[in-house]
Chain A
Amino acid sequence: MNQRRSKIQIVYDLLIAAKQKGRIKPTHLLYKGNLSHLRLKEYIDSLIQKELMIKISADGHNYYKISEKGVKFISDIEKMKGITEAFGL
Chain B
Amino acid sequence: MAVQLISMNLLTLNIVVFLFSALVAFFISFFSYKAFRLTKEKKHLYFSIGFILLSLGLIMHSVGNLSIYLGIKRCLMNTLCSLSQRTLSIAYLSHILLTFLAYVTLILIYFKVKEKAIAVFAFVQAILLATLTYDSDMFNVVGFIFTLFIVYGAYRNYKSNKNINTKLALIAFSLISISHPLFISNNVLSAYVALFLGYLSFLFIFIKRKPRNTHESKKK
Contact = CB atoms under 8 A, between A and B. Distances in A.
Given A3-B161, A76-B31, A80-B34, A85 B166 contact: yes
Interface of A: 3, 6-8, 11, 50, 75-80, 82-89
A84 B38 CA distance: 13
Interface string B199-210: 000000110100
A78 to B, nearest CB: 6
A88 B206 contact: no
16 contacts: A3-B161, A7-B39, A11-B38, A11-B39, A80-B31, A82-B205, A83-B35, A83-B47, A84-B35, A85-B165, A87-B154, A88-B110, A88-B153, A88-B157, A88-B160, A89-B43
A89 B31 contact: no
B59 interface: no
Interface in B38-54: 38-39, 41, 43-44, 47
A76 B34 CA distance: 8
Interface residues of B, number: 26
B165 A86 contact: yes
B41 A7 contact: yes
Interface of B: 28, 31-32, 34-35, 38-39, 41, 43-44, 47, 109-110, 153-154, 157, 160-161, 163, 165-166, 168-169, 205-206, 208
B44 A88 contact: no
A79 B206 contact: yes
Contacts of B44: 84, 89
Most buried by B among A8, A77, A82: A82
Contacts of A77: 38
Contacts of B160: 88
Contacts of A3: 161
Given A85-B161, A88-B166, A79 B39 contact: no
Contact of B169 (A6, A7, A11, A86): A86
Contacts of B41: 7, 89
